[in-house]
């Protein structure tokens, strides 16, 4: 059976080369078309879905199920759960008395689509409705941090701490400190609770360590985080980037051996393959092109960060890389986005762009030793 | 799990952008109108159908083809309930003819083959609303071929309906593209430069008008013939060349033609070069035509119109330039200074374009 599954999937994967799809065919009756989570008794999602069917107007059930969908989306990398959550909460959003927990779900869906301004607005409503909902504060802080708005995030991180969530609040605060000139303090804060950190905390600690030049420590944190959450793409991508920059290309490639790789991971794969002069690069580029043309036909907004990565490290088109990096910087200002802008500006010899970035770095006091700041 | 811990777990991935390549759901619908019927193929993600219908009959975590086939009726009912086809506002009943497996972007899809019979002929309308619910990231990509032409569109929850647009008549298209072709040459400084360079040596002080006209006619005809051929080849997708290579060669053609004018002894190269580079310019015109786009219109009026437009523009350039050159040729200034000077100037321009396009 497994062999059949492998064969079917392999055939589909091999033949699939155009956006229009492969030649349709009739498989054998016993062929495995797709694997899904097996039906288990006691599956919380199934239980909630059943409960909801009997009690459709129960907003608490709706919120719980929606949050569970989001968790499952991240655990299984099956992003359609986001769609399900969105559909589920839709009828409730119009209501003026939508509870904060529900608004948190909506904001999470929005930020996942990079609609950060919309997410912040929704969270503003949530915080006003329930000032003691730590989740709303944490989510808003994190959206602000992603956008490099550390000062705006600080009060929310402190509020999370004040509401009794010390673990999440500490990681939140560490990010703010790290972004505003107190990176040593930030690192210290997290290292004090290193043993108890979740994947998110470890990811932040790894980021701080990298920015201080301790890539060995960073690698350790990232590897540990990945064992805790193997489906976490941000962690995987960060580790891959670290290994690639160190020259451990084969290791980096091993991390990326995924079916259904996301666009971001495919770009990293292409980068490493390009460095290794691996002939499989052609196939990876085809896959990327396929995803891009699909995205274009759908009218989706392109992912500027990944486009910049692709342009800089695979296509070696520094002008396009800078253009994309700048567009990206408008919405996202995480460490990777900052470095991307710096490298693209350097590669294309654009002093003006570099100066602008340096000005922002000085104003926020964001530290990254690799940037010389 | 406390609500906050749940949330914190979720936030672990906040940094993850484009984490989910398929954080989007896409279905694909292709409709082809033939004389007897409308053939529709709608490819739907197995994952989505599974969620709607629970295709895993024995719940063992593997969806077998046999399990899918047992859901044939349910699938048909679900999908037909969300597919509406009409012509001239009269509904065309559709039946499911076959269920096959395919894939898009490395994910398994069910390919449903429908046949619809339309009682009345006319503009087509298709509504394909399956999975286009409140989720804002779901799309249906449609690809339609009717008697009037070929169309592509994207349906979403905001726009779940597609209506065949009114296509302009062949004559209207033809006339429109004559204008497009003419305009393209008039603003196409590189084509104009090449043309002028070819023409300059035709007008010689010591030649008779008849002889000059014949020479001019030969050169322009060779150029025209060549670019018409390649324009047709490229526009019909018979031959495809990378855009950058074409642009570079066009710039190079200007440099070469200019250099040729500076060596009167190499005059016999003018005709073959006019033809040879004309071929490349034709690909350049095809790129321009592709950028204009011609959705839903027929190729023949587009191509014919555009080509004629190009010729008209060329003729207009010759008509303006020729009297001026005829008037100038009797001055010793012409052969000694004008032709070389103009050629050098255009050679430099060509070299600059070459560098810019590289």
- Residue B128: strand pairing partners: B83
When pLDDT is averaged across residues A258-270 and rounded to a whole number, the result is: 85
Among B7, B100, B154, whose Cβ lies nearest the Cβ of A135?
A: B7
Least confident piece of the model among A5-19, A47-61, A120-134? A5-19
Q: Does the pLDDT at position A39 exceed 70?
A: yes
B21/A266 touch (CB, cutoff 8 Å), yes or no: yes
Is B265 an interface residue toward A (CB < 8 Å)? no
- Per-residue confidence (pLDDT) for residue A259, from 0 to 100: 63
Give me the pLDDT at residue B1, please. Answer: 39
Contacts of A266 in chain B (CB under 8 A): 21
Which of 114-133 (B) contact A at CB < 8 A? 133
Instruction: Pick the residue from chain A with its C-alpha nearest to B142.
Output: A297
The pLDDT profile of chain B, 358 residues, written as one tens digit per residue, is 355 555 555 554 454 443 444 456 899 999 999 887 899 999 999 999 998 898 998 889 999 999 999 999 999 999 999 999 999 889 999 999 999 999 988 889 999 999 999 998 888 999 998 888 767 788 999 999 988 788 999 998 888 899 998 777 788 888 988 998 898 888 888 888 888 888 887 776 667 777 777 888 888 889 999 999 999 898 888 888 888 888 888 888 888 888 888 887 777 888 898 899 999 999 988 888 877 766 556 778 888 888 999 889 988 888 888 888 777 777 766 666 777 888 888 888 888 888 888 7
Q: What pLDDT is attached to residue A43? A: 87
- Window 35-74 of A: residues touching B by CB (8 A cutoff) are 35-39, 67, 70-71, 73-74
Q: Is A87 within 8 Å of chain B by CB?
A: yes
Interface predicted TM-score of the whole assembly (ipTM), two decimals: 0.76
- Closest alpha carbon within chain B to A292: B21
pLDDT score at B206: 67
State the average pLDDT for chain A. Answer: 89
Q: Tell me which chain B residue has its CA closest to the CA of residue A291.
A: B105
CB-based contact B154 A233, cutoff 8 Å:
no
Give the closest of A139, A143, A294 to B7, CB-based.
A139
Q: How far is CA A301 from CA A109, A305, A307, in A?
A: 16, 12, 11
Distance linking the first and last C-alpha atoms of chain B: 60
How do residues B33-64 score in pLDDT, each as one tens digit?
A: 988 789 999 999 999 999 889 899 888 999 99
3-state secondary structure of A356: helix
Instruction: Please report the residues numbered 291 through 320 in chain A whose beta carbons come closer than 8 angstroms to any beta carbon of chain B.
Output: 291, 294-295, 297-300, 303, 305-306
Q: Express each pLDDT in A354-373 by its tens digit.
A: 999 999 999 999 999 888 65
- Taking only residues 335 to 364 of chain A, the set having a beta carbon closer than 8 angstroms to any beta carbon of chain B reads none
- On the question of pLDDT at A151 being above 90, the answer is yes
- pLDDT tens profile A284-314: 999 899 888 888 888 888 889 999 999 999 9
Contact criterion met (CB < 8 Å) for A36 and B135: no
Closest Cβ opposite residue A264 in set B11, B18, B26: B18
Q: What is the pLDDT of residues A175-204, one digit of tens each?
A: 999 999 999 999 999 999 999 999 999 999
Closest residue to A12, CB basis, from B21, B43, B103:
B103
pLDDT score for A262 = 84
Q: Specify the pLDDT at position B178.
A: 92
Tally of CA atoms within 13 A in the half-sphere of B24 that contains its CB:
27
Q: Check if the beta carbon of residue A80 is closer than 8 Å to that of residue B49.
A: no
Q: Is the pLDDT of residue A268 over 70?
A: yes
Least Cα separation, residue A71 to chain B (angstroms):
6
Distance to chain B for A361, nearest Cα, Å: 20
B283 in A contact zone (CB under 8 Å): no
Partner residue facing A199 (CB), from B12, B46, B154: B12
Minimal Cβ distance to A74: which of B13, B24, B143:
B13
Q: Touching check for A167 and chain B: CB below 8 Å?
A: yes
- In Å, how far from its chain's centre is CA A114? 10
Residues of B in contact with A30 (CB under 8 A): 64-66
Give B51 to chain A, closest Cα distance, Å.
10
Residue A8 has pLDDT above 80, yes or no: no
Q: Between B6, B15, B18, which is nearest A334 by CB? A: B15
pLDDT at A295: 87
| Residues from chain B contacting residue A1 (CB–CB below 8 Å) | 62
Predicted pLDDT of residue A16: 41
Average pLDDT rounded to a whole number, residues A75-96:
84
């Amino acid at each position: 059976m497994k062999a059949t599954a492998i064969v079917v999937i392999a055939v589909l994967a091999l033949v699939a080369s155009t956006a229009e799809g492969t030649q349709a065919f009739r498989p054998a009756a016993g062929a495995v078309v797709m694997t899904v989570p097996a039906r288990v008794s006691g599956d919380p999602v199934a239980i909630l879905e059943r409960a909801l069917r009997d009690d459709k107007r129960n907003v608490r059930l709706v919120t719980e199920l929606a949050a569970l969908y989001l968790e499952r989306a991240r655990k299984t990398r099956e992003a359609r759960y986001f769609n399900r959550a969105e559909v589920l909460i839709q009828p409730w959003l119009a209501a003026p008395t939508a509870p904060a927990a529900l608004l948190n779900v909506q904001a999470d869906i929005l930020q996942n689509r990079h609609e950060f301004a919309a997410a912040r607005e929704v969270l503003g409503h949530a915080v006003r409705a329930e000032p003691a909902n730590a989740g709303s504060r944490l989510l808003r802080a994190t959206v602000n941090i992603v956008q490099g708005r550390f000062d705006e995030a600080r009060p929310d991180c402190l509020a999370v701490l004040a509401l009794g969530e010390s673990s999440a609040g500490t990681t939140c605060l560490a990010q703010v400190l790290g972004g505003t000139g107190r990176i040593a303090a930030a690192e210290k804060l997290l290292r004090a609770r290193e043993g108890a950190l979740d994947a998110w905390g470890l990811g932040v600690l790894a980021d701080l360590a990298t920015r201080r030049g301790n890539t060995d420590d960073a690698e350790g944190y990232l590897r540990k985080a990945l064992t805790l959450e193997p489906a976490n793409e941000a962690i995987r991508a960060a580790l891959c980037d670290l290994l690639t920059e160190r020259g451990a290309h084969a290791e980096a490639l091993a991390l990326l051996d995924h079916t259904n790789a996301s666009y971001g991971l495919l770009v990293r794969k292409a980068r490493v393959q390009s460095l290794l002069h691996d002939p499989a690069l052609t196939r990876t580029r085809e896959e990327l092109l396929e995803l891009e043309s699909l995205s274009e036909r759908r009218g989706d907004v392109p992912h500027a960060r990944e486009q910049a990565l692709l342009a800089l490290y695979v296509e070696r088109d520094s002008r396009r890389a800078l253009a994309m990096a700048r567009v990206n910087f408008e919405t996202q200002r995480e460490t990777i986005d900052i470095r991307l802008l710096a490298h693209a500006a350097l590669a294309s010899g654009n002093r003006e762009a570099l100066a602008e970035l340096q000005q922002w770095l000085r104003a926020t006091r964001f530290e990254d030793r690799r940037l010389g700041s | 799990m406390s609500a906050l811990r749940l949330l914190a777990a979720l936030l672990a991935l906040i940094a993850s952008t484009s984490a989910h390549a398929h954080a989007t759901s896409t279905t694909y619908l292709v409709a082809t109108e033939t004389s007897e019927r409308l053939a529709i193929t709608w490819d739907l993600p197995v994952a989505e159908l599974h969620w709607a219908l629970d295709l895993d009959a024995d719940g063992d975590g593997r969806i077998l083809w046999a399990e899918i086939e047992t859901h044939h009726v349910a699938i048909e009912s679900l999908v037909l309930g969300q597919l509406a086809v009409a012509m001239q506002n009269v509904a065309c009943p559709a039946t499911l003819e076959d269920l096959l497996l395919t894939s898009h972007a490395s994910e398994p899809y069910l390919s449903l083959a429908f046949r619809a019979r339309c009682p009345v002929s006319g503009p087509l309308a298709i509504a394909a609303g399956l999975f286009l619910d409140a989720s804002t990231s779901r799309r249906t990509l449609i690809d339609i071929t009717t008697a009037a032409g070929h169309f592509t569109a994207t349906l979403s929850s905001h726009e779940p309906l597609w209506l065949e647009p009114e296509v302009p008549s062949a004559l209207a298209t033809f006339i429109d593209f004559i204008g497009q072709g003419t305009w393209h040459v008039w603003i196409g400084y590189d084509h104009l430069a090449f043309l002028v360079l070819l023409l300059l040596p035709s007008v010689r002080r010591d030649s008779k008008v008849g002889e000059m006209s014949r020479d001019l006619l030969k050169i322009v005809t060779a150029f025209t013939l060549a670019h018409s051929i390649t324009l047709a080849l490229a526009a019909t997708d018979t031959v495809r060349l990378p855009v950058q290579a074409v642009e570079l060669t066009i710039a190079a053609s200007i440099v070469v033609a200019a250099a040729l004018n500076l060596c009167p002894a190499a005059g016999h190269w003018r005709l073959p070069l006019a033809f040879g580079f004309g071929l490349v310019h034709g690909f350049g015109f095809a790129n321009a035509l592709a950028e204009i786009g011609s959705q839903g219109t027929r190729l023949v009026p587009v191509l014919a119109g555009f080509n004629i437009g190009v010729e008209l523009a060329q003729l207009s350039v010759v008509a303006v330039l020729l009297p001026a050159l005829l008037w100038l040729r009797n001055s010793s200034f012409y052969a000694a200074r004008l032709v070389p000077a103009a050629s050098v100037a255009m050679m430099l321009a060509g070299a600059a374009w070459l560098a810019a396009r590289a």
